[in-house]
Amino acid sequence: MELNREHFRAIIYYNLQRQLSQQECLAELLSVFGNEAPHQSIISRWYGEFKLGRVCLSDDPRVGAPTMAATQENVDAVRKLIIEDRHVTYREIEAVNWCQKTLDRFNSGISKNVYSIVSGEEKPTKVIRSRSVSKKMVATLVSKAGHIATISLNEQRTVTADWYTTICLPKVITELRNINPKRRIILHQNNASSHTAQKTRQYLTEENVELLDHPPYSPNLSPNDFFTFPKIKNRLREEAWNKCFENWFERI
């Protein structure tokens, strides 16, 4: 039996009634469900909701949110356009195929496996020191539950497979597995050479990290490009990160 969000929320409510602390609730869920268990921030959120008197376990309806059928209609409409328009390139065809595959894999964003996705991106970011402003390359990784890490390349201007596999990814994977050693990690990254290098693929295989590929030239499908970097200076609540990943599947 596959548990959905409402099932886990019912368990969280039950544990609250048992007067378990949030940490005790998390420990119990991890011991039973492993990496399928909700993130600590989710438990904290629902403890707060229930203490305020909430009794509904379902998500609040989002005005204007597309249904799964509507999302499928969008994909089908784009595919029809590609077939009919000879000017559409192979790049667009790849993007549509990726969207369909990702929608199927994560049940249009409803699957709890969305919480396993770690999306990363590197960009030059302005750094303010005293009266000077300079740009430094940073890698930022996020998940549905929130920001995971922002790692500076120091004096490097480009991301190499060596830096990516010896500094960036080990830091992120260690941080995630310190919280939950059994956590499933699905890495979403673009097609930069440092990401597709044999050294990187070998490292991910050794660390048992699954790979969620990315269609080429599609920044509007990368959470960091359409959400994180434009708001990198803001402190975001968990609900905002949750909305980010909902928007991701709307874009798909």
Looking at residue 74, its pLDDT comes to 58
pTM here is 0.59
**208 — pLDDT class (breaks 50, 70, 90):** very high
Q: Between residues 231 and 35, which one has the greater pLDDT?
A: 35
**128 — pLDDT class (breaks 50, 70, 90):** very low
Q: What angle do CA 172, 158, 115 make, to 5 degrees?
A: 25
The answer on pLDDT for 98 being more than 70 is yes
DSSP percent split of the chain into helix, strand, coil, nearest 5: 55, 15, 30
